[in-house]
Amino acid sequence: MVVLLEDRPGANRVWQLVRDAEQKSTPLLVSVVNLGEVFYLSWMRGNEEIARKAVSYLSQLPIQVLPVDEPQALKAGEIRALHHVPYVDCLAAALSSIHGATLVTSDNDFEKLGRHFPILWLER
C-alpha cells in the first residue's frame, strides 16, 4: 500500500492488482495492523492530515481490512520463531498463508521466508 501512496517502483503492478480485484469482485486483503503501519508511516513522512487522507483513499479501493484473530496471531508467532522476520511482517505473511493468498511486497525482510510462502515481488 505504501508503494501506491508514494508512487514507488512497483506501483504500476499494484494498480494492475487493484484493477483485477475490481473486475473480479475479489478484494485484496490487508491486516488491520498492517494498515496501522501504513497510517504511521504516512504520518511520519508527512503529518496527521496526510495519514488520515491516505487511509481514506485506501478505503475506496477494493481492499478488505481484516482483524487479527487468534489463528493469525499464532501463525505470525510461528513465522517469527522460525524465520526471524519482524512481527508486523509476520502478520501479513500469516494472513496470506491462512487465506491461501499471495503476499505482495518489495520488503527485503520477506526474503527470509524462502519458498515457504508464495510472494509476488515488486520492483525495488
The grid coordinates listed for 48 are 496527521
**Residue 46 DSSP class:** S
CB-based contacts of 12-21 (< 8 A; 24+ apart in sequence): 13/120, 13/122, 13/123, 14/104, 14/122, 17/104, 18/61, 18/62, 18/63, 21/61, 21/62, 21/63
pLDDT tens per residue across span 41-83: 999 999 999 999 999 999 999 999 999 999 999 999 999 999 9
1-5, 84-88, 114-118: segment of lowest average pLDDT: 114-118
Check pLDDT > 90 for residue 123: no
Q: How far apart are CA 63 and CA 48, in angstroms?
A: 22
User: On the CB side of 116, how many CA atoms lie within 13 Å of its CA?
Assistant: 17
What band does 117 get if pLDDT is binned at 50, 70 and 90?
confident
Q: How far apart are CA 33 and CA 89, in angstroms?
A: 10
Percent pLDDT > 70 in the chain is: 100
pTM over 0.85: yes
What is the mean pLDDT of the segment spanning 93-98?
A: 96
- Taking CA 6 as the corner, what is the angle to CA 65 and CA 59, rounded to the nearest 5 degrees? 25
Which class does domain 2-121 fall in? alpha beta
Domain range summary for the chain, segments of one domain joined by +:
2-121
